[in-house]
Amino acid sequence: MAPIAVGDSIPDGTLAYFDEQDQLQSVSIHSLAAGKKVILFAVPGAFTPTCSMKHVPGFIDRADELKSKGVDEILCISVNDPFVMKAWAKTYPDNKHVKFLADGSASYTKALGLELDLSEKGLGTRSRRFALLVEDLKVKVANVEAGGEFTVSSAEVILKAL
């Protein structure tokens, strides 16, 4: 399947997260994104170095700026289970705006065409690192990283596109 691209509509899919009351929830991506401007960014794995020290902190640190430019939702997706995503989210106590969504079986990542086979590293199927700017379900910006890189999917790059 071809990777999602500018002009495409994002597919719907159900992801999991823990709410403020620590209850496991399932949410449809379309319910979060329809009629809104959202940033959907993904990382290869929770607790991994670039993801934990650069990618996620950038979106947390720049969330107010992103919101001031009309962004309604900032969604972080990883091919991890919701318990791992909950634990990872708790390592960012200052986070107020980034939602951590679990795509445990990589089904949504595959629907986007952005899966990455890291089986040889013992990680199985993961997500490529990317950031999508989506307006009312249509992709306006699709910044997908080449393997192992972190050059086009940062909060700073997305801010420039707004």
The residue annotated as part of the active site, out of 15, 39, 40, 51, is: 51
**Is residue 10 within 8 Å of 132, Cβ to Cβ?**
yes
CA distances, 29 to each of 92, 95, 160 (Å): 23, 21, 24
CA–CA dist 17, 82 (Å, integer): 5
Long-range contacts of 111-114 (CB under 8 A, 24+ apart): 111/11, 111/13, 112/3, 112/4, 112/10, 112/11, 113/1, 113/2, 113/3, 113/4, 114/3, 114/4, 114/42, 114/144
Is 76 catalytic? The answer is no
Catalytic residues: 51
